[in-house]
Amino acid sequence: KQEVTQIPAALSVPEGENLVLNCSFTDSAIYNLQWFRQDPGKGLTSLLLIQSSQREQTSGRLNASLDKSSGRSTLYIAASQPGDSATYLCAFSGGGADGLTFGKGTHLIIQP
Amino acid sequence: EAGVAQSPRYKIIEKRQSVAFWCNPISGHATLYWYQQILGQGPKLLIQFQNNGVVDDSQLPKDRFSAERLKGVDSTLKIQPAKLEDSAVYLCASSLNSRGGYTFGSGTRLTVV
């Protein structure tokens, strides 16, 4: 059974800092990895999708990497802004099932 | 393209009552999922449909939860009777295929009192 761990559980930093959010998983047989953002009381917004044949994806100030051999993914946020404050969730699909397995998320606060 | 639509946005019911949630996926997306997200946790898959057939319902509490996807488009998720521990956000998602990523709706926040 796939298990997903996200570290840290919470993070509060001043505006402008570069951040790294970590995600680890136990089963390397994955189809793809997806990072999501969730604002309070809202649904999930997809940020980046990395398919199993890829190693990283970039969108604006966000970069996500995938290392299947070590069972890790990282989300890098450059030049953080207060608008980046949200909960960030990583999720994997694979292991014979298409459904996503989520971590518990990292609650991020960017201080103005 | 239009996103995944869910209704209602909020629902408050008493325990032992029944409730139903509705989801309309992105047009053309064959796969539809229902997830349950308890406060402070990541979403947990309840059921997955491929067109109008069930692919995975291993984590659905079948004694009280049911779901259907008639005609392979809209879907409804029902809870009967509800328990206090069912209080959560119920999220619907759809995907074109397993490699194409997932799109989530805004969710329905259920409070059971």
User: How many residues in total does chain B contain?
Assistant: 113
pLDDT tens for A50-92 read 988 899 999 999 999 999 888 899 999 999 999 999 999 999 8
Chain B residues near any Cβ of chain A (below 8 Å): 6, 31, 33, 35, 40-45, 48, 55-56, 91, 93, 95, 98-99, 101-107, 109
- Mutation choice for B interface testing from A48, A50, A98 by most B CBs within 10 A: A98
- Cα distance between residue B48 and residue A72, in whole Å: 26
Maximum C-alpha span of chain B: 40
pLDDT tens for A5-48 read 999 999 999 999 999 999 998 877 777 889 999 998 888 999 99
- Cα distance between residue A22 and residue A11, in whole Å: 12
Contact state of A32 with B45 under an 8 Å Cβ cutoff: no
Contact state of A101 with B56 under an 8 Å Cβ cutoff: no
- Cα distance between residue B102 and residue B104, in whole Å: 7
Q: Which two tokens stand for residue A30?
A: 């994955």
